[in-house]
Chains A and B, each alone.
Chain A
Amino acid sequence: MTQTAAPQKTVLNDTHRALGAKMVDFGGWDMPLSYGSQLEEHHQVRRDAGMFDVSHMTVVDLHGAQTRPFLRHLVANSVDKLQKPGKALYTCMLNAQGGVIDDLIIYYLGEEFFRLVVNAATRDKDLAWIAQEAAPFAVEVRERPELSMIAVQGPQAREKALGVLAEIDRARIAKLGKFSAGAAQTADGAAALFVARTGYTGEDGFEIIVPEQQAVALWNALLAAGVKPAGLGARDTLRLEAGMNLYGQDMDETVSPYEAALAWTVSLDEGRDFTGRSALESQKVAGAPRQMIGLVMDEKGVLRHGQTVLTAFGDGEILSGTFSPTLGKSIAFARVPAGDLPLGAQGGVRVDIRGRHVPVRVVKFPFVRDGQAQEGV
C-alpha cells in the first residue's frame, strides 16, 4: 500500500504468532488475519467477547487554546456537539472538493486537548494534512506511536474487560455511555489506560488505548478473562454487517460523504466554515450524482469488491462485499447512480458475477445489529 519497506509490527506481533495467527500485510502493517477460523471468531464476537489488536491505527493528540476552532475548520461533523470531557464524535475530514481524506474519531479531553484516531493506511497523508491545516491555529499536532490499542467487542465484552481494571475504576467505567471515554488503571496498577466505549463491530464493547510496554500484559489479562483473539478477517465481516464503511474501499478522496451514506456525519451548522463545505452545499442543492446502497444476495455465491452492479439508473460497482456469517448469505455495499430504487427485489438490481447477472435485494443497513438480522434483510 503506502509503504514499500518491510511491514511494520505492533508490539503484540510475537503474541499473535504464538497464538497461531495467520499474518497478512494490511496498510503496511503485519497483522493477524485470523487465529484459525475467521467464521468462529466472527461468531465469538457476536455471541460472547473477542479482542482485536488495532495498534496499527494512528493516535494523534492536539493541544492548544485554538484546538476547538481548528477542529471546527478541519472536519465535516460539528465538534460543538462535544461538550462533556470524554465524549467522542465520528466524522470525516474533507478536501476542498468535498472528497473524504479520511474518517476518524475525535475525543474531547479538555478545552485545549482533543485526541484523534485515524486510519493506519492513510497515516502519512493525514498527518501532513492535519499539520498543514493546524499551522494557522498554532495547534500542536503530536502523534502517539508509543500507544497501543486493543478493541474488546461483544455482548460480554464490557463485563469481561472491567475485570482486568483496578477495582476503584470499575464502577465508573461500567457507567460510561456509548461513544464516551475515561481513564482507568489495570488491576495491578501497572498501566494507565484510556478506555472508550466505541468499536467497529456493531457490538457493545471498549477500545482500550494502552502504553505499548504494557500492551502484552493487558492482552494476556483479557485472554485469561475469557476474551478470545479475533483477526482482521472477522473484523471486516463484523463491520460490514454493522453497516460501517471502510476507508479506501467504500469511500476515498473522489467520494463525498453524501455518496458514501455518511450524510448523518455532516453538520451544516450555521456560520461554520469547514473545508469542503461549499462543495457539499452545491452537491446538496444539485443532488449527489451517486449513492451508496446495501445489497443482499439470496443465491449462492459471494459479492466481491469491483463487481459491476446493474440498475435502472445505470451501472455501479460493489464496494465492500463479503459472506455474512450471521445471515449465512452474501451482503455488500454498492455505489450506483442516483435514483429512487425501491427496497427489496423490486429494486431490480443485478450483479455481474463472472458473466452471470444475479438478482440481489436492496436493503437498509446496518444488516445486523446487536447480533440480530435487521428487518427486511
Chain B
Amino acid sequence: MSEIPGDLKFLKSHEWARVEGDGKITVGISDHAQGLLGDLVYVDLPAVGDRIEAGNAVAVVESVKAASDVYAPISGTITAVNSALADKPETINEDAYGEGWIFVVEAEEPDQLNDLLEPDDYAELLEDEDH
C-alpha cells in the first residue's frame, strides 16, 4: 500500500482534502480508490463558480470497470478544476495525491473539516476493508 500523506483529511468514500496556504481546500480521490477503480478513462469535472454542498456528488470519475461519484468533503464554491484531467485522466492513477487533484473549493464553513477522517483513521478504515 502507498503512503498516505499526513496533511490530508479523508471521507469514508475515499475523497481526500488538503488545506492550502491560502485557506482554500484541494480535493481528490485516494490512491486506494484509484486502485479499486483501475485505469481511469474519463473525469467529469464541476464548473468553476459552482456552489457545492458537503456530502453531495460533484464530479464523476470513470474507469474501464466502473463509474464512481466524487463527493464534496465540504460546502463552498469551486475556485479551480484540474482541466488537464480531461485529456489525461490516468494522472489520477499515477499521482492521486498530487497532480491528480480534481478541484479546489473556497469553504463556507471551515469547521466541517473536523468531521473528516485523519490519515491514521483512514488507514485503519482501509485495513478493516481488507479483512
Contact = CB atoms under 8 A, between A and B. Distances in A.
Interface of A: 22, 33-34, 37-39, 233, 237, 300-302, 304, 322-323, 325
Contact of B64 (A22, A300, A301, A323): A323
Interface stretch (B23-31, B36-44, B48-56, B119-127): B36-44
Given A233-B65, A304-B67, A38 B38 contact: yes
B118 interface: no
A325 B41 CA distance: 9
A237 B64 contact: yes
Given A300-B44, A323-B64, 5 more contacts: A39-B90, A233-B65, A301-B67, A304-B66, A322-B64
A22 B37 CA distance: 12
Interface residues of B, number: 13
Nearest to A328: B41
Contacts of A323: 41, 62, 64
B62 A301 contact: yes
Nearest to A299: B42
Contacts of B67: 301-302, 304
Nearest to B65: A233
Interface of B: 35, 38-39, 41-42, 44, 62, 64-67, 90, 93
Given A39-B64, A233-B64, A323-B64, A302 B39 contact: no
A80 to B, nearest CB: 41
Contacts of A322: 64
A323 B40 CA distance: 10
Given A233-B64, A323-B64, A34 B42 contact: no
A302 B44 contact: no
Contacts of B39: 37-39
A304 B42 CA distance: 14
